[in-house]
Amino acid sequence: MKRIAPVFALIFLFCLDEASGQEKEWTIEDCINYAITNNLDLKRQILQTETAEVNFLKSKMDILPSLNLGSDANLGFGRSIDPVTNLITFKQNISNSYALNSNFQLFTGFNALNTIAANKFMLKAGLEAEKVARNTLVVELLGQYYQVLYARGLEEVARQQLELSERQQFRITRMVETGKEAMSRQMEMESQVSADRLDYTIARNTANQAITILRQMLQLDPGTAFRIALPDPANILLTENDFKADSVYRIAAQTLPRLRTIEYELKAAEKQISAARGLVAPSLTVGGSVYTGYYKVLSDDSGEQAAFTSQLKNNNSQAIYVSLDIPLFNNYNYGRNIKTAKIRKTDAALRLELEKNALYTEIENACLNYSRGMDEFVAAQSNFEFNKKSFNVVEKKFESGLVDVTDYSAAKTTLSRAETEALRTKLQLRIREIIIQFYMTGNYESISFI
């Protein structure tokens, strides 16, 4: 048993090393979840919402009565007033007072209630703005993710073309060695392999650049391992849909946070106008206070003086008051506030109309692009299947010596372009479908990205 224990320990350490050496593969869901949690711009948007929440809470607290406790202490020299006798004295003295004040605004032209309503709508607008920022971030990440998928697809096509050329080069080289092929044909094939290797290198570097851009969008910490789990493009299923711009817009107008954000801002502006008008109305305030104090002469001949607690009890006084404030002229401050609030409301209404027009234009273009993309995808897929069959025929002729390297290379290039175009149209159609789904749902949680 003593000999077996070290063996198990070594196996355990080896397993740990193996587990730690495996890099995490990031799916598109992982990228989105990480970005929503860590994106700095989104965090700043959340801070703005928190500010709106604080303003909303403050406006609600403003309707509560105020309560303040105050105290002061004074050391008097020279001429002063004795608060006990109300006579002038030149004796050194010390005084200490305490006051408790409270006031409550009974009526302020409904300014407080309208301010609460305005801040409530601004908070709702902030929450919707967060959703807009999240959706924008998701769309940007999704677009770059599919760009990576497309770049990797091009890299794979280039790799397959290189392997195909290398296989033909190997075959021709063997035939040259046996005297069945001329050396010139081997040189032509080597030139083709070199060109295909260059294309593969460019495609690989382009894919790496696309991954780097995605990593930068995620704002990952330096040194963080980043490897993307890419699905097979062949597993991406497409369904033919008949999207109508008017139908999609009617749904989007009710669900998209980008419209609700401005709608809440418009409602807030209406309440801000009412709040500004309330400041022109008379205001009524009631309040009360409690006061007490202590006074002591510090000279030796001052005689016996009342104790501290006795003075606080004897000097206690209370008061209540009612205050009426009627605004007459305030240097156009109130008028300026009303005018500014009206301008904000008009601006919000115009922004809402502009956003609706922009949204309809985007949806109309998205539906047209989807319909056009579906036609392009069907044509590209059919073209790829045709070129694949055609290339198989040319390849057999090339192996039989019926066509030269130039014709073979042209057929292979045509097949590569057809495969690349089929991949491009497929991924492009998928991203256009997802964008329309965003318009119809207003969130990313209910959308399947692959």
Topology (CATH level 3) of domain 23-64+108-281+327-441: Outer membrane efflux proteins (OEP) (1.20.1600)
Does the pLDDT of residue 5 top 80, yes or no? no
Regarding beta strands 80-81 and 88-89, do their DSSP bridges make them parallel or antiparallel, or are they unpaired? antiparallel
Point out which residues pair with 67 in neighbouring strands: 102
Per-residue model confidence (pLDDT) at position 152 = 92
Looking at residues 351-363, what average pLDDT do you find? 96
Does the pLDDT of residue 205 top 90, yes or no? yes
Q: Are 162 and 196 in contact, with CB atoms under 8 Å apart?
A: yes
Regarding beta strands 93-107 and 25-26, do their DSSP bridges make them parallel or antiparallel, or are they unpaired? unpaired
Please give the mean pLDDT across all residues of the chain.
87
Does the pLDDT of residue 408 top 90, yes or no? no
Per-residue model confidence (pLDDT) at position 22 = 52
**Tokens read off for 98:** 């305490």
Does the pLDDT of residue 48 top 50, yes or no? yes
Per-residue model confidence (pLDDT) at position 14 = 40
Per-residue model confidence (pLDDT) at position 19 = 40
Looking at residues 324-339, what average pLDDT do you find? 90
Other C-beta atoms lying within 10 Å of the C-beta of residue 231: 12
Q: Are 384 and 418 in contact, with CB atoms under 8 Å apart?
A: yes
Phi, psi of 321 (to 5 degrees): -150, 160
Per-residue model confidence (pLDDT) at position 230 = 82
Greater confidence (391 vs 10) lies with 391
**Which of 263, 279, 260, 269 is closest to 117 using CA atoms?**
269
Q: Are 264 and 122 in contact, with CB atoms under 8 Å apart?
A: yes
Looking at residues 358-373, what average pLDDT do you find? 95
Does the pLDDT of residue 60 top 90, yes or no? yes
Q: Are 450 and 28 in contact, with CB atoms under 8 Å apart?
A: yes
Point out which residues pair with 288 in neighbouring strands: 102, 320
Greater confidence (117 vs 221) lies with 117
Does the pLDDT of residue 13 top 60, yes or no? no
- pLDDT range class, residue 412, cuts 50, 70, 90: confident
For the segment 242-297, what is each residue's pLDDT rounded down to a tens digit? Answer: 899 999 999 999 988 999 999 999 999 999 999 999 989 999 999 999 999 998 88
Per-residue model confidence (pLDDT) at position 449 = 62
Greater confidence (204 vs 241) lies with 204
| Three-class SS state of 94 | strand
Point out which residues pair with 99 in neighbouring strands: 70, 291
Residue with token string 């329309």: 436
Does the pLDDT of residue 9 top 60, yes or no? no
Does the pLDDT of residue 350 top 70, yes or no? yes
Other C-beta atoms lying within 10 Å of the C-beta of residue 159: 16
Per-residue model confidence (pLDDT) at position 10 = 41
* 23-64+108-281+327-441 and 66-107+287-326 in the same fold: no
Percent of the chain beyond pLDDT 70? 93
Burial of 409 (0-12, 13-18, 19+ CB in 10 A): buried
For the segment 141-182, what is each residue's pLDDT rounded down to a tens digit? Answer: 999 999 999 999 999 999 999 998 898 888 888 888 888 778
Residue spans per domain, the chain:
23-64+108-281+327-441, 66-107+287-326
Per-residue model confidence (pLDDT) at position 8 = 40
CA–CA separation, 5 and 114 (whole Å): 76
Does the pLDDT of residue 58 top 80, yes or no? yes
**DSSP string over 354-409:** HHHHHHHHHHHHHHHHHHHHHHHHHHHHHHHHHHHHHHHHHHHHHHHTSS-HHHHH
Per-residue model confidence (pLDDT) at position 238 = 81
CATH of 66-107+287-326, one of 3.40.630, 1.10.10, 2.20.200, 2.10.260: 2.20.200
Per-residue model confidence (pLDDT) at position 409 = 84
Handedness of CA 375, 378, 381, 383 (dihedral sign): negative
Residues in the chain: 450
CA–CA separation, 390 and 386 (whole Å): 6
- pLDDT range class, residue 300, cuts 50, 70, 90: low
CA–CA separation, 75 and 295 (whole Å): 10
Does the pLDDT of residue 374 top 90, yes or no? yes
Q: Cα-Cα-Cα-Cα dihedral of 357, 358, 360, 366, to 10°? A: 160
Per-residue model confidence (pLDDT) at position 116 = 96
Per-residue model confidence (pLDDT) at position 398 = 84
